[in-house]
């Protein structure tokens, strides 16, 4: 499944532009930033209301508008995901991890920061 491609198809049908190069500011990016904020707020409210159905809907909607933002600015999300995934997996040493009191997995000496610039091809 390729979420970004699904959203690309939607955007093309809706006559929205898919960026062919990295471009943070264009006529469409503010729309997608607003949609990301709107969907986050709706999901947070559903969470506070303990409404699992609306939380699930909101999560899917957030992925949708985030993929739309990626398409609008020319980001190949799969490349970014792979870089971030590698970085996050570096938090495990021989399958072991350290958590803080809140349950967050901490960064050991093996951790490396994701090279987003490289993943963007910059």
pLDDT in tens, 19-54: 988 988 888 999 999 999 999 999 999 999 999 999
Domain that holds residue 56: 1-15+24-74
* Residues 89 and 121 occupy one common structural domain: yes
First to last CA, the chain: 27
* Residues 88 and 119 occupy one common structural domain: yes
* Residues 4 and 56 occupy one common structural domain: yes
In the beta sheet, which residues pair with residue 96?
93
* Residues 93 and 68 occupy one common structural domain: no
SS3 (DSSP) at 93: strand
Predicted TM-score (pTM) of the model is 0.88
Which residue's entry shows tokens 């958590």?
99
Better pLDDT: 58 or 27: 58
User: Which has the minimum average pLDDT: 10-24, 29-43, 50-64, 69-83?
Assistant: 10-24
Residue range 58-72: mean pLDDT, rounded: 97
* Residues 45 and 8 occupy one common structural domain: yes
C-beta neighbour count of 23 within 10 angstroms: 13
């Amino acid at each position: 499944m390729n979420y970004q491609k699904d959203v690309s198809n939607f955007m093309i049908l809706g006559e929205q532009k898919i960026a062919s190069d990295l471009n943070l500011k264009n006529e469409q990016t503010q729309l997608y930033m607003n949609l990301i904020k709107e969907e986050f707020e709706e999901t947070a409210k559903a969470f506070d209301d303990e409404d699992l159905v609306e939380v699930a809907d909101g999560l899917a909607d957030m992925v949708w508008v985030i993929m739309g933002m990626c398409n609008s600015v020319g980001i190949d999300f799969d490349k970014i995901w792979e870089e971030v995934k590698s970085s996050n997996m570096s938090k495990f040493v021989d399958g072991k991890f350290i958590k803080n009191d809140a349950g967050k997995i901490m960064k050991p000496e093996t951790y490396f920061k994701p090279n987003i610039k490289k993943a963007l091809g910059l």
